[in-house]
Structure 1
Amino acid sequence: MERKIITTADGSKTIHLPELNEHYHSKHGAINEAKHVFIKSGFDYILSKNKLSALDIMEIGFGTGLNAFITFLEAEKINLPIHYVGVEAYPVALSEAKLMNYPEVLAVKEKQQVFDTMHQSLWELPVEITSNFKLFKRKQFFADIQDKSRFDLIYFDAFGARVQPELWTIEIFRKMYEVLRFKGVLVTYAAKGSVRRAMQEVGFVVERLPGPPGKREMLRATKVES
């Protein structure tokens, strides 16, 4: 399948799959989307609601590593230990990752080595990016996830339901519910009614929030029962 590197509206790069008409990130701004959906509505939100001395995060769709990298930057500001698990069935090639310009656009060129290490590190082995940021990349289909009550926060960044509807089902969100600890939070750029109803069916309390640039709404789901 053809894969193109494109520049999004905020100057940051992403990958476009023309055959599917699907992007790894919003064409309206990859970095803007990541900051709005996953940092503001997820990372910042859960820290404002819970007194946590460390944060366990699972990302569904590790992709280009953008969400992991921005999370590292935000956690570094507040000296918060992060254990980050990135799940990806089809990893981005290292050659493609090297074309992503996130450290430059974020004005943190001195952190280029951190971004590079995230991609150069081996799959299925834990790596200490810094003393406060531990990364574990799992090459795994989302349906095979078996973790129970292990994570505080899920970044649900799979390809859209139009392209991969099997990733947005009751069965998948039941797994996500089981993955989270009590009061754990899942955030996603998606806002379809069918997605919201699937989340509610498994027990999530779901909020519709203003979306990132180019998108009217997004969803945030909270696990309210232990």
Structure 2
Amino acid sequence: MKADVRLMITGDGSHTAVNQALDKTYHSIHGAYQESQRVFIELGLWNAFDTFPNDTLHIFEMGLGTGLNALLTAREAEKHRRSIVYTAIEAFPMDLEDAQQLNYDELLGTNYLNAIHTAAWNQSSQITPHFTLTKLEGHLQELHTDERFHLIYYDAFAPTAQPELWEPELFQQMADLLLPNGRLTTYCSKSYVQRNMRAAGLVVEKHPGPPHKRDILRAIKPL
């Protein structure tokens, strides 16, 4: 089922989408780009580059959404010439017509967004020379894979909209997907989310967030 969305401009000039059924935005209204850049690229990807300097990075994203996180990751893969194998799961994909109105390529000087959204579901697609994408259509709770990941972007809607995606069993599932010393980053720093991560055996760190967001989280799977 396609997501029913409308687009809006956020504080830094980049688009976000508003899920009409949940009445929730996909990104911060204060700046979609600067939120994704801080939470997933600076806190997650750059740290993973340093932690696994010789590896092809395997990344899992919970919630493909607008494709912004995937686009920023593809940009970093080309900039650093690091091979990234990226898997994203999405239960309610955006309609292609809506996705093609997003202004990320124009804003960032890239040309990846259309390829991300037109890539076939449930199979591997080469988006750039260093970035391979597999989009899975379905619910996280139904995911079954033998693949293990260096990094997880946990970008579900807020707990007020999707509380079931912030429960202990979901973070145990995420911990099981991570390789030893793997990382998970998310914008949500609520105390019970931190407790649920720790219950799954993850070491939780709080870090400064993007503008208008005090704290964000990075969780690490011990060696």
With the shorter chain as reference, the TM-score category is: over 0.9
After TM superposition, the structure 1 = structure 2 runs for residues 92-131 of structure 1, keeping only pairs within 5 Å, are: 92-106=94-108, 108=109, 111-112=110-111, 114-131=112-129
**Distance in 1, Cα, partners of 2:166 & 2:155:** 11
State the partner residue of 1:213.
211
Residue among 134, 155, 158 paired with 1:157: 155
1: CA distance, partners of 2:32 / 2:22: 18
2:190 corresponds to 1:192: yes
Partner deviation per Cα, 1:32-62 (whole Å, 9 max, x = no partner): 0010000000000122233233110000000
What's the counterpart of residue 173 of structure 1? 171
What do the CA deviations read for 1:13-42 (whole angstroms, capped 9, x no partner)? 111135533100000100000100000000
Which stretch shows the higher mean deviation, 165-174 or 46-55?
46-55
CA deviation profile, 1:45-83 (whole Å, cap 9, x unmatched):
122233233110000000010000001111111110010
Aligned mates of 1:162, 1:46 — CA distance in 2: 30
Cα distance in 2 between the residues matched to 1:121 and 1:149: 20
Structure 1: 5+ residue stretches without partners: none
**Which amino acid in 2 is paired with 1:102?**
Y
CA distance in 1, matches of 2:95, 2:4: 13
By how many angstroms is 1:149 displaced? 5.9
| Equivalent residue, structure 2, for 1:23 | 25
SS in 2 for 1:73: helix
User: Residue deviations 1:162-182, cap 9 Å, x none?
Assistant: 111000011100110010100
- Give, in whole Å, the separation in 1 of the partners of 2:132 and 2:42: 21
Please give the per-residue CA displacement for 1:178-222, whole angstroms capped at 9, x wherever unaligned. Answer: 101000000000000010000000100000111111111111100
Aligned counterparts of 1:2 and 1:42: Cα–Cα separation in 2: 29
Of 6, 12, 15, the residue aligned with 2:14 is 12
Task: Give, as a single letter, the amino acid of the residue that structure 2 aligns with 1:96.
Answer: D
SS at match of 2:218: strand
Count of matched residue pairs: 221
Q: Which residue identity lines up with residue 43 of structure 1 in the other structure?
A: L
Deviates more, 1:18-27 or 1:92-101: 18-27
Distance 2:4 2:74 in 1: 31
Task: Tell me the C-alpha RMSD between the 2 structures.
Answer: 1.4
Judge conservation of contact 1:146–1:179 (CA < 8 Å) in 2. Answer: no
Runs of 4+ with deviation above 3 angstroms: 17-21
* Structure 2 counterpart SS, 1:85: strand
Distance 1:148 1:168 in 2: 22
Aligned AA (1:92): M
Alpha-carbon distance in structure 1 between the residues aligned to 2:79 and 2:7: 30
**Residues 1:181 and 1:2: Cα distance change in structure 2 (over 3 Å):** closer
Q: How far apart are the structure 2 equivalents of 1:60 and 1:46?
A: 17
Using a 3 Å threshold, how does the CA distance of structure 1 residues 149 and 120 change in structure 2: closer, same or farther? closer
In the alignment, residue 118 of structure 1 is paired with which amino acid? I
User: 1:148 touches 1:180 (CA, 8 Å); kept in 2?
Assistant: no
> Counterpart of 2:87?
85
Identify unmatched segments of 5+ residues in structure 2. none
Partner SS, residue 56 of structure 1: strand
Identity %: 40
Aligned to 1:74: 76
